[in-house]
Homo-oligomer: A and B are copies of this chain.
């Protein structure tokens, strides 16, 4: 098996810099559209054979060093009893958001194998299919990011309602976060037990928080999750999107790897996180629009900066955009491997 990814997570020496791409199984790939056109997004998440099929596509097409489970961070909320819809163009909608104590009390903390068995089934298929190819990454949403969807009922710009609950009803917010955290721990343990070889926690909206609020309302729950998973020996990656100013705090999360977006150089990030944490990132997804010669220069610059970190896993700083030509993604993978060999 190609173990470069797992080695880089632990700061061990690799044959070349490993790379995977956030949302590598997704809308920029014609092969993905072929599968997706026959069912809804949620149906695809819940059909293990098909979810496994799209998970494998980028491994074959791009030659990345890790597969990441095809799923969505919000399936957790459906499993906890919330209604969840994905509307074309509009994105996720939770028509009955959390507003009061009764709503929080109604949230269930089931066993993940019962309610999200389709995820674990997908993982089991994938481990068989991947066999000796590349490791499989499982994932979840960080509790704060999940909370924004639970409270806003969908995507948001200012996260007004989320912050309103934090500030004016902190006990209610924390009761909700405790439930989400408990279930997430159960969910990640089930993923690891089913065969996930690394786990990434996506904190997509952490960057909306002032450092003081991040420390009180977001990071403690991430720490609890990571601490609870430590026995599993599976490497943990924490990606706080737009979180450059939160790094001093994120470095205490317990994660083996911190994901970085493109707003900070990896060299600066490495200086902040120190010698005990690997870094993942951080090419601007829009940089895949550059002509190849300029794109290669950007890749080289990030590889050079990544050398400052304990270990470096190349990635984009955010999910690959649907508009990206697949051959550009393939070119980046090829570049990373060639330049780091």
What residues make up the interface of A, taking CB atoms closer than 8 Å to B? 158-160, 163-164, 167-168, 207, 209-213, 242, 244-246, 262-265, 268, 284-287, 289-291, 294, 298, 301, 317-318, 321, 323
Contacts and interface: CB of A to CB of B under 8 A. Distances in A.
A261 to B, nearest CB: 9
A244 B318 CA distance: 18
Contacts of A211: 263-265
B164 A289 contact: yes
Given A158-B321, A245-B263, A163 B210 contact: no
Looking at chain A's contact residues, the main secondary structure is helix
Quick one: copies of this chain in the complex? 2
Contacts of A244: 244-245
Contact of A168 (B207, B209, B210, B289): B289
Contacts of A210: 262-263, 284, 287, 317
A323 B160 CA distance: 8
A290 B209 CA distance: 14
A284 B245 contact: no
Contact of A160 (B290, B317, B321): B321
Nearest to A301: B212
A269 to B, nearest CB: 10
Contacts of A213: 284
A227 B58 CA distance: 49
Contact of A245 (B264, B287, B298): B264
A112 B338 CA distance: 53
Nearest to A162: B286
Nearest to A207: B263
20 contacts: A158-B285, A158-B318, A160-B289, A160-B321, A163-B284, A167-B287, A167-B289, A167-B291, A168-B291, A207-B242, A209-B263, A210-B262, A210-B284, A211-B263, A211-B265, A244-B244, A244-B245, A245-B245, A245-B268, A246-B263
Contacts of A268: 245
A289 B163 contact: yes
A274 B56 CA distance: 51
Contacts of A285: 158
Nearest to A285: B158
Nearest to A155: B157
A154 to B, nearest CB: 14
A207 B284 CA distance: 12
B242 A167 contact: no
A318 B163 CA distance: 15
Contacts of A289: 160, 163-164, 167-168
